[in-house]
Amino acid sequence: MCAGPLCGYVCPHMATITCTRCGQTRDRMAFQPFQNDLGRRAYQEICAACWAEWLRFQQQLINHYGLNLREPQAKEFLFRNMEQFLFHGGEGGHGLGAQSAPAGQG
DSSP, residue by residue, 45-73: H-BHHHHHHHHHHHHHHHHHHT--TTSHH
103 pLDDT exceeds 70? no
Q: What is the mean pLDDT of residues 28-48?
A: 95
In a domain, 2, yes or no: no
Res. 97 pLDDT band, cuts 50 70 90: low
CATH number at residue 31: 1.10.3880.10
Mean pLDDT over 24-36 rounds to: 95
Element (H, E) at 16: strand 16-18
Domain that holds residue 36: 12-87
- State how far the Cα of 68 lies from the Cα of 12, in Å rounded to an integer: 39
Domain assignment of residue 63, yes or no = yes
Question: pTM of the predicted model, to two decimals?
Answer: 0.75
Q: Which of 24, 95, 27, 17 is nearest to 56 (CA)?
A: 95
Domain-embedded: residue 6: no
The number of domains in the chain is: 1
